[in-house]
Chains A and B, each alone.
Chain A
Amino acid sequence: MTLRAWVDERLPVADVVEALRHKTVPHHRYSVWYYFGGATLFLFGIQVGTGALLLLYYRPSATEAYESVQFIVTRVPFGWLVRSIHAWSANLMVATAFAHLFSVLFLHAYRRPRELTWMSGVVLLLLTLAFGFTGYLLPWNTISFFATRVGTDIAATVPMIGDGLVRFLRGGNDVSGATLTRLFGFHVAILPAIATALIGLHLLLVQRHGMSVPPSIERLDADHPRAVRAMPFLPHFLLRDLFAWTAVLAVLAALATFYPWELGDKADRFAAAPAGIRPEWYFLWAFETLKYVPPEVAGINGELLAVAFMTAGAVAALVLPFIAGRTSASRRLVVGIGLAALVFMAAMTLLALRGAAL
């Protein structure tokens, strides 16, 4: 009995290959955006791999965390590379996830019957940000310490449950060793478990419904047949996907090697927040917005207003497929709001970067 026959008798490999042989992916002028989801998945895989490696040396306590990361980057062979890849890959993953979300938004791929694909995607983006936030504190350096104090204190603005929420996030009243172990637990166990389940669902739904063809291309196809061609998944799309992954890997390797992620100084609870302190680039727009919000707006706490506004934005994004109309006018509205959000975030980020440069 050949090995192949032995496997075929036990696992449905042949069925899966047969199904993939018949699978096609629409090919048109916007299909380049299809690759960002795959790139995000690839980077997630890298995070799991490098994260597991970091766990072998990392120690999650306020007295040892900084020293253990220092040990990883200075003493462990290639430790600097593993940590640098983990940090850079996290940043690239946030970037590709945002690109994926906005391309899906602008190409209207959230429409029926892909509502659940969209919603699981929005939650996965929020989880990616949560991964970033929880992982940021783990080296226990000055910047991450104050970023975590600010970030968790924002939760205190929530009416009624604010204080309880802060205690839940911090594992106490202040950012301390208890916060470190707590965020470590979120980062390496709870968030990965939820993310893995949701990624499974997301991929299953993508398989089930196939790639969405944007309405504009659908209309074009009706007038000029062959505006959309069917590309075989095997091997054409898969090879292109692999090519995209290789390109991402090349960028990642270059960044990680030539710009190793810095460790900074060990967190000191009794030192002043250093000048020029700011969070990671993907939280900069929110950070800058908080700077401009006055303490009180019409008798309401300014922070609360800003937090409520951002929460409303996230909720609106989550339920978008159910609130967006089906007419082309309402699709234009979705594109307009999406663009406005993008421009606002970009402008706030630029302002924050300019402020830091001054």
Chain B
Amino acid sequence: MASDLEKRGGRRSVLNWLLGVCGGGVLGSIFYPVVRYLAPPDIPEAATLSVTAGSAKALLPNTGRVVPFGSHPAIVLRTPSGELRAFSATCTHLDCTVQYRPDLQRIWCACHNGEYDLNGRNVAGPPPRPLETFDVNVKDDEIAISRRS
């Protein structure tokens, strides 16, 4: 009798275990696809190496302009001494797009008041890193900026 009960208890625990495993499997097969679905798929982006950034003459000293560099913004500026420079325009702090501030003679981010000097170095405010520097070439008045290899 006792062994019968034990056997039944043993059977019951096996059944409970099986039920638990099946239930877990069902829940897993519901939630695993949902979790995977929520993570967006990686869409490989063609790496942009070089873009044109408008007329060089139109860019006066101590001004700058933001241009598309692939799917990201880039900033090209002419220093007060007349030199052309280009950087990534994505602030290294929290991803805002920077602009050129003639009054400060610096690259400035409006979001949290971050400042970069004319070499793209973070010099004031919260930005933790300098801006990525791009190479600038001018051909027939057309500015071309390219990623440094």
Chain A interfacial positions (CB closer than 8 Å to B): 146, 149-150, 152-154, 164, 167-168, 170-172, 174, 178, 269-277, 287, 290-291, 293-296, 301-303
Contacts and interface: CB of A to CB of B under 8 A. Distances in A.
A28 to B, nearest CB: 46
Interface in B104-149: 109-113, 122, 125-128
A276 B112 CA distance: 10
Given A149-B94, A150-B95, A273 B40 contact: no
B126 A295 contact: yes
Nearest to B35: A168
A168 B38 CA distance: 7
A174 B40 contact: no
Contacts of A277: 96, 110-111
Q: By DSSP majority rule, is chain B's interface helix, strand, loop, or mixed?
A: loop
B38 to A, nearest CB: 6
A277 B96 CA distance: 10
B2 to A, nearest CB: 45
Contact of B39 (A164, A269, A270, A295): A164
A276 B39 contact: no
Contacts of B73: 269-272
Contacts of A164: 39
Interface string B62-83: 0000111001110100000000
A294 B127 CA distance: 8
B123 to A, nearest CB: 12
Nearest to B74: A270
B contact residues, range: 20 to 34
B99 interface: yes
Interface of B: 38-40, 43, 66-68, 71-73, 75, 89, 91, 93-99, 109-113, 122, 125-128
B89 to A, nearest CB: 7
A149 B96 contact: yes
Nearest to B95: A153
B96 A150 contact: yes
A330 B72 CA distance: 53
29 contacts: A146-B96, A149-B96, A153-B95, A167-B40, A168-B38, A171-B40, A172-B40, A172-B43, A174-B71, A174-B72, A178-B40, A270-B66, A271-B97, A272-B66, A272-B75, A272-B89, A272-B97, A272-B98, A272-B110, A273-B91, A273-B110, A273-B111, A274-B110, A291-B113, A291-B126, A295-B126, A295-B127, A303-B94, A303-B126
B68 A149 contact: no
A171 B37 CA distance: 11
B97 to A, nearest CB: 5
A14 B135 CA distance: 80
A295 to B, nearest CB: 4
A273 B94 contact: no
Contacts of B113: 291
A274 B113 CA distance: 12
A295 B115 CA distance: 13
